[in-house]
């Protein structure tokens, strides 16, 4: 699989990052089933806790446009080539698990040439997913 385009879009997302408190800029690109790519960036708050991560920004943009089926996610950050690969926080893993299967590839990229691919199920093993609610879930669909 060639991840160039998705990584490129994640870097595009990172350009919009609003991170004046941490200085840690993050970008994400979520590939939907029809080929559409939704980008996201982290958006921080002076009250700190309302901060939203790049991954959830991308997911919220996609879901709010009616998209619920995803094929892959790429994540980049300003830690870039010097730091490690940026992996989603626990809250984002849970939220991604809501819509994306355990088999969905997550591309942790420093650049188009330097990246690692992990599956969502490896990031959140034995995760609690919507199927666990059984019938209750049907009420929200």
C-alpha–C-alpha distance, residues 47 and 103, integer Å? 36
Under the binding rule (CB under 6 A), the answer on residue 95 touching ligand THU is no
Q: How many CB atoms lie within 10 A of CB 44?
A: 18
Name the 3-class secondary structure at 8: helix
Per CB under 6 A, which region of 2-10, 46-54, 98-106, 119-127 contacts ligand THU? 46-54
* DSSP secondary structure letters along 14-64: HTT-B-TTT---EEEEEEETTS-EEEEE-B--TTSTT-B-HHHHHHHHHHH
Under the binding rule (CB under 6 A), the answer on residue 24 touching ligand THU is yes
Residues involved in catalysis: 55
Q: How far is the CB of 13 from ligand THU (least distance, A)?
A: 10
Find the binder of ligand THU among 88, 97, 108, 124 (CB under 6 A): 88
Specify the residue, 23 or 66, whose C-beta has the smaller distance to ligand THU. Answer: 23
Under the binding rule (CB under 6 A), the answer on residue 72 touching ligand THU is no
Find the binder of ligand THU among 6, 37, 44, 62 (CB under 6 A): 44
C-alpha–C-alpha distance, residues 15 and 21, integer Å? 16
Q: Which residues bind ligand THU (CB under 6 A)?
A: 19, 22, 24, 26, 42, 44, 51, 53-55, 75, 86, 88-89, 92
């Amino acid at each position: 699989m060639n991840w160039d385009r998705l990584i490129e879009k994640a870097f595009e997302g990172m350009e919009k990052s609003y991170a004046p408190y941490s200085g840690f800029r993050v970008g994400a690109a979520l590939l939907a089933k029809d080929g559409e790519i939704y980008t996201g960036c982290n958006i921080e708050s002076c009250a700190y806790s309302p901060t939203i991560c790049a991954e959830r920004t991308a997911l919220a943009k996609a879901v709010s446009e009616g998209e619920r089926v995803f094929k892959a996610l790429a994540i980049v950050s300003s830690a870039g080539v010097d730091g490690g690969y940026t992996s989603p926080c626990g809250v984002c893993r849970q939220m991604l698990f809501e819509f994306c299967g355990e088999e969905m590839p997550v591309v942790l990229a420093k650049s188009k040439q330097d990246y690692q691919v992990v599956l969502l199920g490896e990031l959140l093993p034995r995760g609690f997913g919507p199927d666990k609610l059984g019938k209750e879930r049907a009420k929200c669909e």
